[in-house]
Amino acid sequence: MESVQKAHKRLRNYPVLLAKCANTAATYAACVTRELNVEKNVCEKEFQEFKKCLQKVAKEGKMRL
């Protein structure tokens, strides 16, 4: 059960991470919604920027993704 509690704790941090990366999240979301037929790697650049932001914020806050 301890692993479940740790997972819940990590999930509670996600709103904080997303709020701090709102600009890159919005850019990625706009790219995905702009495409009618979303295919692999269509928005790769935007996704990588969003991912980098999440990782940076998590590292700064000593959080685990």
For 6-58, give the DSSP string: HHHHHHHHHHHHHHHTHHHHHHHHHHHHH-SS--TTTTHHHHHHHHHHHHHHH
Residue 62: burial class (beta carbons within 10 Å; 0-12, 13-18, 19+) = exposed
Which residue matches tokens 């979303």? 38
Segments making up each domain of the chain, as ranges: 2-60
What pLDDT is recorded for position 46? Answer: 96
Asked if 19 and 63 count as a contact pair (C-beta separation under 8 A), the reply is no
What pLDDT is recorded for position 24? Answer: 96
Read off the pLDDT of residues 6-52 as tens digits, 9 standing for 90 and up: 888 888 888 888 999 999 999 999 999 987 888 888 899 999 999 99
